[in-house]
Amino acid sequence: MKFATMPADGPDGRLHLVSRDLTRCAPAKSVHTLQALLEDWDRHAPALEAQYSALNAGGGTAFDPARALAPLPRAWQWLDGSAFDSHGDLMAQVFGLDENPKGRPLMYQGLSDCFLPASADVPLPSEDDGIDFEGEFGVICDTVPMGTGAAQAAGHIRLLVQINDWSLRTIGPIEMRTGFGWVQAKPACSMAPVAVTPSELGAAWRDARVDLPLVVEWNGTHFGAAEGYAMTYGFDALVAHAARTRDLVAGTVIGSGTVSNPDFRTIGSSCIAERRGIEILDEGGPRTGYMRFGDRVRMECRLRDGTPLFGPIDQRVVAAPCAGAA
């Protein structure tokens, strides 16, 4: 099944089913919001499956992804991993840090009370903060009991999403040195307009990984097409890691971290920091600057036959109203 959340009264919008080709949609008949569905998935899923089949056979109204909110406009919890060792190891090498610890996923807890719509302008306070995009895949879970192992965790993954995890690179190192983690360096993330069940990927959902490329363009120029299967830890392992000492509430969102491949010099990157890191190693210094106000980033993942999945994230960075304030 494919889901989108359209504007309605209240911040959580109105849940809609979206046709497989992303051209039509219809309000979900049995449940009003995605959060409510995640909290009682087994009760609602059969009726929604039947409605989805009918929608794909015809009917519904035109789906405009530019009007959609994030599928989950706000979540109880957002946990972001760093599951691609090629990215983490490159960053460690560039900055002279200890190599990422092996045998244990990296993960932090970020801002979850707002996921930005995929077509909305992104207001940020200053170009001097080092504005960067980070293309990721993510999962949304139902309730996961504490201590759930990886084999069982896979069964709690209800939906897959595509995320732009915005980062402010100038602030990041300052906050990391405090030992308390990120706050200012991690503003609200963006989420592609459609969330999909793993079954929509078919064989491309493999070993709890998205075995597909994430195509990224910056100001209309191709930037990268890294493959999602290269995760060192699959989403099942990330969910189990997060649940080791806590229950995960239904609606928890867990990210993969920046999609990255070892051959990043030829396949490209999913964030500017990685491109700059390659330039530092190869040329002695970075040539590529970070984003400026007015810049656009577009990212999209499709099945290999071209079938759309999540719809695109296509956004412009703009100055926040507070920009330049004393």
Supply the CATH number for residue 244's domain: 3.90.850.10
Classify 199 in phi/psi space as left (phi over 0), alpha (psi -120 to 50) or beta.
alpha
Residue 295 to residue 95: CA distance in whole angstroms: 27
Q: What is the widest separation between alpha-carbon atoms in the chain?
A: 59
Residues 181 and 242 in one domain: yes
Average pLDDT, the chain: 93
In a domain, 29, yes or no: yes
Residues 159 and 262 in one domain: yes
305 alpha carbon, distance to own chain's centre: 22
Structure tokens of 145?
A: 């009991």
Q: What sections of 76-119 are H helices per DSSP?
A: 85-95
Residues 21 and 158 in one domain: no
User: Is the per-residue pLDDT at 84 higher than 90?
Assistant: no
In a domain, 325, yes or no: no
Beta bridge partners of 162: 137
Determine the structural domain holding residue 18 and report its residue range. 1-63
When divided into structural domains, the chain yields a total of 2
* Predicted local distance difference test score (pLDDT) of residue 293: 98
User: Is the per-residue pLDDT at 173 higher than 50?
Assistant: yes
Residues 275 and 192 in one domain: yes
Residues 146 and 168 in one domain: yes
Domain boundary residue among 41, 63, 85? 63
DSSP designation for 106: -
Over residues 207-243, the pLDDT tens digits come to 999 999 999 999 999 999 999 999 999 999 999 999 9
DSSP designation for 105: -
Residues 12 and 144 in one domain: no
Residues 20 and 149 in one domain: no
Residues 152 and 191 in one domain: yes
In a domain, 324, yes or no: no
- Length of the chain equals 326
In a domain, 291, yes or no: yes
Residue 287 to residue 78: CA distance in whole angstroms: 33
* Predicted local distance difference test score (pLDDT) of residue 182: 83
CB contact at 8 A, 232 and 81? no
Residues 13 and 119 in one domain: no
Residues 207 and 271 in one domain: yes
Residues 163 and 256 in one domain: yes
* Predicted local distance difference test score (pLDDT) of residue 326: 45
Predicted TM-score of the model (pTM): 0.94
Domain boundary residue among 63, 84, 107? 63
In a domain, 86, yes or no: yes
28 alpha carbon, distance to own chain's centre: 23
User: Is the per-residue pLDDT at 89 higher than 80?
Assistant: no
Residues 236 and 108 in one domain: yes
* Predicted local distance difference test score (pLDDT) of residue 104: 82
* Predicted local distance difference test score (pLDDT) of residue 83: 87
Structure tokens of 258?
A: 């920046």
In a domain, 124, yes or no: yes
In a domain, 257, yes or no: yes
pLDDT (mean) for 94-106: 68
CB contact at 8 A, 192 and 215? no
In a domain, 326, yes or no: no
User: Is the per-residue pLDDT at 302 higher than 80?
Assistant: yes
Domain boundary residue among 63, 89, 110? 63
User: Is the per-residue pLDDT at 306 higher than 90?
Assistant: yes
